[in-house]
Structure 1
Amino acid sequence: MNNKISRLSLVSSKNKGNGNHPRQGELGLGIDKERDIDGIGMGVLSDGTPYLNQRGLAALCGVKNAHIGTISSQWNDDDLKPKIKNIKSILRESDIIVDNPHLEIEHRGVVHYCYPASVCLAILEYYAMDAGPNKKSEARRNYRLLSGSKLQEMIYSQVGYGDDNSIALRKWHERIELNHQSAPSGYFSIFNEAHTVIYELIMAGAEIGETMVPDISIGIHWAKHWDRNRLNERFGDRRKFPHRYPDDHPQARSNPQVANCYPLDALGEYRRWLQNEYLDGGKFKNYLSRKSLPPSISELAISRLSPGLLE
């Protein structure tokens, strides 16, 4: 089985994705694509995050399923085991912090335990390099083959993700690569929080790129909401940070752009505002109407993010 995983990792992909870590239920997070290969489940969540199931991750690392389950069950213990500390340290080196290593997503009446690709890589690195006498030769081999973006590329290729939207996904991913670590610790950026909106637009057929940058619209309206309601008095002051555009975007001529980032304490308020006021309140629909999109694209995007506006 481990050799099968290694062979799969050599299959190239037509596009890349974000590898971020969504929370279950955020704007209706679900499974967009999935496939089972010899009992090893893999797929892509509705915001573009590639994942493996527990059995797939265990096979990748050369350990039993129970070892991966133990990582999840002990993730938030008061007295962390050295293994958990080590894996969390690997994630922090990439500025990644997750509440749990897997997400429980109900899909077609079954709960799926989804381990995002970057969490998989951290656990794989542990068993390949840092597990002492418990290091596994399968983990070392697969880590060499799947480090960097290769694991997510393998998953995308195997499930056939993004074949019809590869250009828009590539442009989106280029921005993610340039900016995924830009906002300072303790703050969130609108671009990183807009991933679900951008993804749904791409899946609806919108040409996300140089002329369609929905996070700008979201950022402008959120900044007005922030000022109008004096949210700095509740959550603290926002800060500025550098945001960069890919070279083929006209905005790149003035890189780095100066963008706002907001205290993490305000994240709940932002997500409530995004759903209730930006999406359901009509601002999203107005933004799409100014982009001269075919009605089919606009209606599909709205139906997935704010279906009440079509009633």
Structure 2
Amino acid sequence: MNDRKREGPFSLDMDFDEAVRRLAQTDPKEITPNASSIKSLASKSGSKEITPQGELDLGIEIERDIGGIGMGVLGDGTPYLNQRGLAVLCGVQNAHIGTISSQWNEAPPKPRITAIKAILEKAGFYARKAHIEIMHKGVVHYCYPAEVCLAVLEYYAFDAGQNVQEQARDNFRLLAGSKLRELIYSQLGYDPTGKFQDKFRKWHERIELNYQSAPRGFFNVFNEAHTIIYEMLQAGADIGEKTVVDISIGQHWSKFWDANRLAEKYGARTKYPHRYPADHPQAQSNPQESWCYPLAALGEYREWLQSEYIEGGKFRHYLDGKVKKGDLPPSMAQLALDAIEQKLLPGG
């Protein structure tokens, strides 16, 4: 880990290992004890047993590879690691995890399977299979629910005899309890509460109020910020009254316009009435006068947006500020940043 001082547990530029260490310093949420089966805590779908292949077509909601750790969330909100990711976490070969799965229901049970199931039972969980097989994008995915991952991790940390792995012990100490579950949610930008399910509503309301506001021959920053806003929404960000990225873009573009005397080149800018939805505190001063710019300057604006606002670090600085204020989870900010830089920078 580098020695730079950071505010809060996360930063946009940390890798997976550092995210693990930072998460270990946060207060965990308790996993419900005494469950008879592994359950999802995602309130959007209620608690459900993780069901073996063929009994329920769950599907994969979101997946990503973070520093070699493959992870995702199933359609019912269950967080998981893939086989290779769990192997990396435990410090063992991928084949060892595959063997655990293949021997899960053998009779008589192998000693390590008995040990892992005992760890699960002690934690209040039961799994009929070690993993769930999901067909996703034409490929079978082997998904190991977070609680199963923790049981396997604990086994290799303390109970595997001569096969105990120091890496497994270190990771278990960091990820015990509900912290692995929280880490997966955080790294994927997934909201298990379902709070932001209708994530496009507020943005659509602003579009309806403002899409024809600028006079003919002019453009406004809000309408030109749609790519960035869309990618932030796709990353899971709550685009509403607290996260209004077009204000940041507009302020920086306005300063650039004045500093470079662009009115002399393209003509004078003018004001137009911009309105916010009724549930935004900004709506109390509706309509707000905002700048719009001659269409002749649109090409220069788009070049500035790419080279100055995104590549120049202004967008990253905006997201960092939102993370520090608690308005945006760090994983969502990183996903948005990755998507925008990939799409708008040269070679993306």
Length-normalised TM-score, structure 1: 0.49
- Which protein shows a greater Rg? 2
